[in-house]
Amino acid sequence: MDIANPSDEHQMLRDMVRDFVDEFVEPQALEYDRDEKFNLELLRSLGDMGLLGLTASEEFGGAGLDTVAVAIVHEELSASDPGFALAYLAHSMLFVNNLEFNGNDEQRERILPKVCSGEWIGAMAMSEPDAGTDVLGLSSSAVKNADGNWVLNGRKMWITNGCIDEEDTPADVVWVYARTGTDQKGRAEISTFLVENGMPGYSVGQKIIDKTGMRASNTAELVFQDCIVPPENLVGSVGDSMIHMMANLEVERLALAAMSLGIARRSLDEMNKYATDRSAFGHQIRDFGQIQRYIGESWAKYRAMRSYIYDTAVNMGLGKAGQRLDSDGVKLFATTAAKEIADAAMQVMGGYGYVAEYVVERLWRDSKLLEIGGGTLESHQKNITRDLSKSPEVINK
């Protein structure tokens, strides 16, 4: 069995997305990266294919697919345009998947059809100027007023899809984490809110430009200044955010690892072709030992990534926590391996690998963010070490 295509349906999905990438994503990738533009209409068009609600219920316009499908779509998009794939991830995983598994019936019925179709673009806002991995260090706060509404104040930073165009239009709907008090142990109590464009006090603070990579996705600071959020837009109960975060982080990390796989596969393909096309001293450069080392080691890393990613995908359930050891492990390994393979491709291709016309330069830049976003390498190392301390028996299973 091909672990990356365990059923005919998965193979059909891969073929469909690959055809879409060849026809529509690849032709625009260089331009949108160079100009730091977000292809909003291209993202919306994925709604027609059922991909914007990949894991959402079919009754609300989703596709109702599994975690293997999540890995397939993110791999295929990233083999061409990781920046575009990141915008897709922020919408489909950070918002839509979160709402599917954590929202109530009214919220899902009202919002999911709009985000699954592409009418609305979603985002998730957790990181702040002074808080990232330290979730309990968030300073954004929400207080209930006399009318029963929540008054949200704070700033969120590095938000993918936070700004969806060049006119600083904020995302249509954002999944926002904010402090609502202190629990019995004296720790910050974090709650989740659905903030919609048009709610008073919600705006884009700045579009973040001059990023090293992922330049085809819009990144923004979001500002909530006395933002009025109605009580029906509280997700779950007060203080439920950690439950929402843990389950969704696992599938997010799988998707980011799959993005790394797409980068690695394309980089390997480009360096392999170049090593045949390029000659030096009367030989194809693939005849030289050092080039063989770059290609051989990259192939081994790529295959190891692929196996680990899809093994994790097959065993991961949606909407519930419990796979942190491997969701952290696969992202820890795959993101660094992708960067190393992209770097090897640049080295094999020499000057051609270093210029924007050739895709590996962009892939190399894009790969770095995957070691930071969705959990830093250091956070994965900490989590894995902690989990193995609690459950050392998993090593010898």
How many Cβ atoms are within 10 Å of 140's Cβ, its own excluded? Answer: 22
Lowest mean pLDDT among 136-145, 284-293, 324-333: 136-145
303-359: per-residue pLDDT in tens?
999 999 999 999 998 988 889 999 999 999 999 999 999 999 999 999 999 998 889
For every residue of 309-378, DSSP letters joined together read HHHHHHHPPSSS---HHHHHHHHHHHHHHHHHHHHHHHHHHGGGGGSTTSHHHHHHHHHHHTTTTTS-HH
- Domain 8-117 and domain 242-391, same fold? Reply is no
Task: For residue 185, give both structure tokens.
Answer: 């142990």
DSSP state, residue 171: P
Distances (CA, A) of 2 to 96, 311, 316: 29, 11, 17
Please tell me the predicted confidence (pLDDT) of residue 130.
85
For every residue of 214-276, DSSP letters joined together read -TTS-EEEEEEEEEEE-GGGEESSTT-HHHHHHHHHHHHHHHHHHHHHHHHHHHHHHHHHHHH
Please tell me the predicted confidence (pLDDT) of residue 322.
87
Please tell me the predicted confidence (pLDDT) of residue 321.
83
What is the mean predicted confidence (pLDDT) over 268-284? 96
Q: Please give the mean pLDDT across all residues of the chain.
A: 95
Residue 191 CA to residue 240 CA, distance in Å, equals: 6
Please tell me the predicted confidence (pLDDT) of residue 230.
97
Q: Is the pLDDT at 133 greater than 80, yes or no?
A: no
Pick among 2.40.110.10, 3.30.70.20, 1.10.10.920, 3.40.50.720: CATH of 122-240: 2.40.110.10
Residue 292 CA to residue 284 CA, distance in Å, equals: 11
Q: Is the dihedral of CA 292, 293, 297, 300 positive or negative?
A: positive
β-pairing verdict for 150-160 and 173-182: unpaired
Of 238, 266, 281, 261, nearest in space to 346 by CA: 266
204-245: per-residue pLDDT in tens?
999 999 999 999 999 999 999 999 999 999 999 999 998 888
Instruction: Provide, rounded to the nearest whole percent, the portion of the chain with pLDDT above 70.
Output: 100
Q: Is the pLDDT at 135 greater than 80, yes or no?
A: no
Q: Is the pLDDT at 81 greater than 80, yes or no?
A: yes
**Three-state secondary-structure class, residue 209:** coil
Whole-structure pTM over 0.85, yes or no?
yes
Give residue 54's Cα distance to chain centre.
14
What is the mean predicted confidence (pLDDT) over 40-62? 97
* φ/ψ bin of 44: left (φ > 0), alpha (ψ from -120 to 50), beta (otherwise): alpha
Site of tokens 């006119």:
167
Enter the CATH code of domain 242-391.
1.20.140.10
What is the mean predicted confidence (pLDDT) over 25-31? 97
Structural element, H or E, at residue 158: strand 150-160
Domain positions in the chain are 8-117, 122-240, 242-391
Residues annotated as catalytic (active site), given as ranges: 252
Find all residues with CB under 8 Å of 306, minimum gap 6, and list them: 3, 4, 261
CATH class entry, domain 8-117: mainly alpha
Find all residues with CB under 8 Å of 300, minimum gap 6, and list them: none
Site of tokens 């790394």:
260
